[in-house]
């Protein structure tokens, strides 16, 4: 019995150039499309009658990009979901995920070059549009935002049982590669402005917080976003704890001044939360 | 408002050696632990009173592995969830994910070396144990099983609109990197035997199927598992379509015999389904 | 001044099917081509007159694969270098690197399916052909061969200075992801047979060795290959030391029996050597 | 016979905090150390008498970082090579490679936070110090500098044979992930200033160039660096051609305006050159 199913196209890469009189604008998107609906017969009987080929989904990304200029990944996603819902009767829910890599203009002699760009990172902008026949929602996010604070970060007062060897600390490095996704309360707003404001609020609240734990800082960051950006309904934060372990220099006859750390990739704490109004 | 939260430790790597008289046995696991429960105060107030440090979770993996020998990742996961539930009153649900990398014995002069191993892959075995105060479930899986069939794979009869350029084909390469996860109906069975049987059934049904599409083959594979392995309640399959595009040799004055293909990583079709009894 | 230069095409992926009466054979290659020669004018003056486009190099891979059947990556590489040298007067040296991913036939009910395959790994087979107007050499290799021994591995007697904290050990896990490349003494031999013999010799000598260090075992493996496989002129081995650190269980009130290890990816020892006749 | 050998430690990760009165400074380095010398007996006889454990190399990185503050990766590398040469008689040549990940201060309300940082990328700074008993050289570099120009990039006039299908173009996107390494003429200079100047010159010359090919632009970039930065003796550039293929929209009844591209990762052109004075 087919309990659930979905199909679509992932990693559709689109670089769109807008040729203006005095400069080019560049948009670099990676798009994924996911269909859910009444496609049981393709699974059970191999009947492809109502199936839109995933290759056609890919073509649609390019054709719609060429036909119209979207200002934001979110608006392009909205165009795509409308196109697919209008033309595919079995389609019940369509999800479009977009990742935008940022490019800045190369600066030469104090001015921006109109046609040359440098890739920015490591963080990228994400957007997600989900639409059914009844309802459309728009979300956005930031992925792999690498942040670190070297002050006002403690971790004390946790359970100490016979398997606990971690010392308490009131002065540690807190570092994470933040992935945040949030839901907007509306499908028409200035998505670029909102995105920039959320990202900046995440950075500022992370920097400003007196942290008792990753959990504690995560919650403060989520609350700060909800307090500052009215258009956000809720926000989901995932913060791997990229542990920076102090090296014990006394082994080498040196003093520990809490200045030398080894950054580790694994194992890592993984903390997540959804904060809503 | 804290709508949802979870925390835990990921990428805890454990290599366990069992020193037998005549040989060593080797188990190579990567473990992730995830707690959900009444931990709001750690997020909202920075109060870590009831918080088990993720570092302690890591220690627990090593201590429990040392104290008792599990025959399977699933049984080790069961030990871990019991340990955590017994000792953490705020804990409501704990999830343990385990990845086992396979090692085979190196063969020399026709016999297996008792102490030397070669890593197998690329596919790995997975297991997931989820437990609350009321209920424990055990699942298993295989990740990144790379399979390809060069016969009996077609894709025809799909929608042809003005954005469709994909030709129909009755003879294509079908390739995927399968990730399958399934739920067992019980928490005590021979997990190794069941796992091997599911994996073999997936391979055989993939090979034997007359494929009208990825969807069609995926469903047949799921049904084959349910038919053959009674202990499986349901199975979830994810099959990225690793497209192998025939190279058009006529451009070079050569004949197309459907023998030369370019393997591509992106974009790719992404097909998934859950098949249940 | 242009001191040195090279250009070419990398990551040309070729899957070649041979349609036999009773079965299909499958070859999965990734090819890289590198030209060195009198191409200064393309760099200095932007004059592309003598430049073969890297896109044409890619086409050549597909066309030559279609026109003739090579039994081995090495023979296909030899065809490619001849083709390029014959037709490009400025070309002084051409290098072709080939990576072959292994596929095994899926077995069903004790017999091999003639048209369905499972990817093997993680190790892959490599080949390198380098040709100038005067000389052609053929080499081969194995990449990412994951091997581990849990007995007869020591590391003692090394320098102990005030920065040395590593304890001596006579019983440790020795694990590596071996990359070996070797040069053949001839350009015509049974490359498949030789490759299998070298790989098997590396495995057996690794298993059999009484190891005083990674260096020690590496040398023994190289010598074993030279002793057993006459066609090999020299062999280069690279062995990252994938450290498996014993977990100190006494912290948890448990006994250390040298059975519980944490596998680490970084930092790692990196040992290499070339062993010749 | 041991023809060549080397051993060392790779991926030693060091995060160094400098606690100033009003702010913290952060340095994030990944260090690799490589020894070559008279270590034959460790390979051939398993005699570790003169061997410095790679674990001790790692410790040395931490101890030397703690003892002295280097302003640049290059100066830290110089300290390390001196330390190792002074204390290891068999050591003939030591190479230290350093990768520095950049961190910028988080800005809040127009001012820089003294203790909170955001990771920059994707490009990283590299440095390499090589020292023997006779001679020490210092080099630097930039890795993974993602750059793209959408104007003044052509590729015409190349060989057209029967395997050439690439059309000529006078208006294409030129994109690469540049890796540049250069040698300094001295071991004492303001390494930070020089590095910034080389990087900026690479960006500006890439943006300004009228490109007839990747080769052509690469050479111009190298010449620009040598012309502007006296301290650089020679520079090596590696530029994978990250192809952006125009999508043929006429298939969908749309006009090609050279604005819609698909970015591809493979295959890719790989161009490299060393430009010297």
Q: Is C266 on the interface with A (CB under 8 A)?
A: yes
CB contact at 8 A, C154 and C122: no
Kindly determine whether residue B15 and residue C261, on different chains, have CB atoms separated by under 8 Å. Answer: yes
Model confidence at D109: pLDDT above 90 = no
* Average pLDDT of the residues of chain A: 97
Confidence at residue C44, expressed as pLDDT on a 0 to 100 scale: 98
Active-site residue, selected from the candidate residues B58, B72, B209, B243: B243
For residue D244 the two structure tokens come to 């952006």
Least CB–CB distance from A146: residue in D115, D118, D249: D118
Distance CA D137, CA D186 (A): 7
Which helix or strand (DSSP H or E) is residue C199 part of? helix C191-208
pLDDT per residue as tens digits for the range C86-113:
999 999 999 999 999 999 999 998 899 9
State the nearest Cα–Cα gap between C6 and chain B, in angstroms.
25
Kindly determine whether residue D270 and residue C10, on different chains, have CB atoms separated by under 8 Å. Answer: yes
CATH superfamily of B144-276: Urate Oxidase; (3.10.270.10)
Kindly determine whether residue D207 and residue A150, on different chains, have CB atoms separated by under 8 Å. Answer: no
Burial of C35 from C-beta contacts in 10 A (0-12 / 13-18 / 19+) = buried
Residues of C annotated catalytic, as ranges = 9, 54, 243
What is each CA distance from A269 to A242, B12, C119, in whole angstroms?
7, 10, 33
Structure confidence at residue C68 as a pLDDT band (50, 70, 90): confident
For residue B181 the two structure tokens come to 């996860």
Q: Is B9 on the interface with A (CB under 8 A)?
A: yes
Model confidence at D260: pLDDT above 90 = yes
Model confidence at C9: pLDDT above 90 = yes
Kindly determine whether residue B149 and residue C16, on different chains, have CB atoms separated by under 8 Å. Answer: no
Model confidence at B104: pLDDT above 90 = yes
Model confidence at D121: pLDDT above 90 = no
**Strand A174-184, strand A232-241: pairing:** antiparallel
Q: Is B233 on the interface with A (CB under 8 A)?
A: no
Model confidence at A70: pLDDT above 90 = no
* Binding partners of C (≥3 Cβ pairs within 8 A): A, B, D
Distance CA D65, CA C17 (A): 56
Angle in degrees, CA D23, D29, D31, rounded to 5: 155
Q: Is D67 on the interface with C (CB under 8 A)?
A: no
Extended strands (E) in C102-195: 103-108, 111-119, 124-132, 136-149, 174-184
What is each CA distance from C272 to B118, C173, C238, in whole angstroms?
20, 19, 4
Structure confidence at residue C179 as a pLDDT band (50, 70, 90): very high
Model confidence at A163: pLDDT above 90 = yes
**Contacts of residue D46 in chain C, CB cutoff 8 Å?**
211-213, 215-216
Confidence at residue C70, expressed as pLDDT on a 0 to 100 scale: 82
Q: Is D196 on the interface with A (CB under 8 A)?
A: no
Confidence at residue C71, expressed as pLDDT on a 0 to 100 scale: 85
Model confidence at B66: pLDDT above 90 = yes
For residue A264 the two structure tokens come to 């580790």
* Average pLDDT of the residues of chain D: 97
Beta bridge partners of A273: A237, B5
**Contacts of residue C66 in chain B, CB cutoff 8 Å?**
247, 249, 254, 257, 259-260
**CATH T-level topology, domain B7-134:** Urate Oxidase (3.10.270)
Q: Provide ipTM, 2 decimals.
A: 0.96
Of the residues D161, D166, D247, D252, the best mutation for testing chain B's interface (the one with the most B CB atoms within 10 Å of its CB) is D252
Q: How many residues can be counted in chain B?
A: 277
Domains B7-134 and B144-276 are alike in CATH topology: yes
Pick the residue from chain B with its C-alpha nearest to A224: B1
Segments making up each domain of chain A, as ranges: 7-134, 143-276
For chain A, the DSSP string reads -EEEEEEEEEEEEEEEEEE-SS-EEEEEEEEEEEEEES-HHHHHT---TTPPPHHHHHHHHHHHHHH---SSHHHHHHHHHHHHHHH-TTEEEEEEEEEEE-EEEEEETTEEEEEEEEE-BS-EEEEEEEEESS-EEEEEEEEEEEEEE-SSB-B-S----TT--PPPBSS--EEEEEEEEEEES-SSS-HHHHHHHHHHHHHHHHHH--BSSHHHHHHHHHHHHHHH-TTEEEEEEEEEE--EEEP-GGGGT----S-EEEE--SSEEEEEEEEE-
Kindly determine whether residue C66 and residue B26, on different chains, have CB atoms separated by under 8 Å. Answer: no
Phi, psi of A215 (to 5 degrees): -55, -45
Confidence at residue A71, expressed as pLDDT on a 0 to 100 scale: 85
Q: Is D113 on the interface with A (CB under 8 A)?
A: yes
What's the 3-state SS for A34-54? EEEECCHHHHHCCCCCCCCCH
Distance CA B173, CA C27 (A): 13
**CATH T-level topology, domain A143-276:** Urate Oxidase (3.10.270)
For residue C3 the two structure tokens come to 């001191």
Chain centroid, CA B194 distance in Å: 14
Q: Residues 37-56, chain B: which have Cβ within 8 Å of A?
A: 39, 42-56
Q: Is D177 on the interface with C (CB under 8 A)?
A: no
Active site residue B9: yes
Distance CA A61, CA A52 (A): 14
Question: What is the arithmetic mean of pLDDT over A119-129?
Answer: 96
Pick the residue from chain D with its C-alpha nearest to C266: D11
What's the 3-state SS for chain D? CEEEEEEEEEEEEEEEEEECCCCEEEEEEEEEEEEEECCHHHHHCCCCCCCCCHHHHHHHHHHHHHHCCCCCHHHHHHHHHHHHHHHCCCEEEEEEEEEEECEEEEEECCEEEEEEEEECECCEEEEEEEEECCCEEEEEEEEEEEEEECCCECECCCCCCCCCCCCCECCCCEEEEEEEEEEECCCCCCHHHHHHHHHHHHHHHHHHCCECCHHHHHHHHHHHHHHHCCCEEEEEEEEEECCEEECCHHHHCCCCCCCEEEECCCCEEEEEEEEEC
Structure confidence at residue C241 as a pLDDT band (50, 70, 90): very high
Tell me which DSSP letter residue C73 carries. H
Active site residue D54: yes
């Amino acid at each position: 019995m087919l309990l659930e199913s979905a199909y679509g196209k992932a990693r559709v890469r689109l670089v769109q150039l807008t040729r203006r009189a005095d400069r080019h604008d560049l948009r670099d998107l990676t798009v994924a499309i996911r269909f859910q609906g009444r496609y049981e017969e393709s699974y059970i009987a191999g009947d492809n009658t109502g199936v839109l080929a995933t290759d056609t989904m890919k073509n649609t990304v390019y054709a719609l990009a060429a036909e119209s200029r979207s200002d934001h990944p979110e608006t392009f996603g909205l165009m795509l979901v409308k196109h697919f819902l209008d033309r595919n009767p079995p389609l019940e829910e369509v999800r479009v995920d977009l990742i935008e890599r940022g490019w800045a203009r190369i600066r030469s002699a104090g001015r921006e070059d109109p046609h040359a760009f440098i890739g920015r990172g490591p963080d990228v902008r994400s957007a997600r549009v989900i639409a059914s026949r009844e309802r459309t929602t728009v979300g956005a996010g930031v992925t792999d935002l690498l942040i670190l604070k070297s002050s006002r970060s403690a971790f004390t007062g946790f359970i100490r049982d016979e398997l606990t060897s971690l010392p308490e600390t009131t002065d540690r490095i807190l570092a994470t590669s933040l992935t945040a996704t949030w839901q907007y309360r509306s499908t028409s707003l200035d998505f670029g402005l909102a995105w920039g404001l959320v990202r900046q609020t995440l950075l500022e609240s992370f920097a400003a917080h007196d942290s008792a734990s990753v959990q504690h800082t995560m919650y403060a960051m989520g609350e700060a976003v909800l307090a500052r950006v009215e258009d956000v309904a809720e926000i989901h934060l995932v913060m791997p704890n990229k542990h920076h372990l102090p090296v014990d220099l006394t082994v080498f006859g040196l003093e520990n001044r809490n200045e030398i750390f080894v950054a580790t990739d694994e194992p890592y704490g993984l903390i997540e939360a959804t904060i809503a109004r």
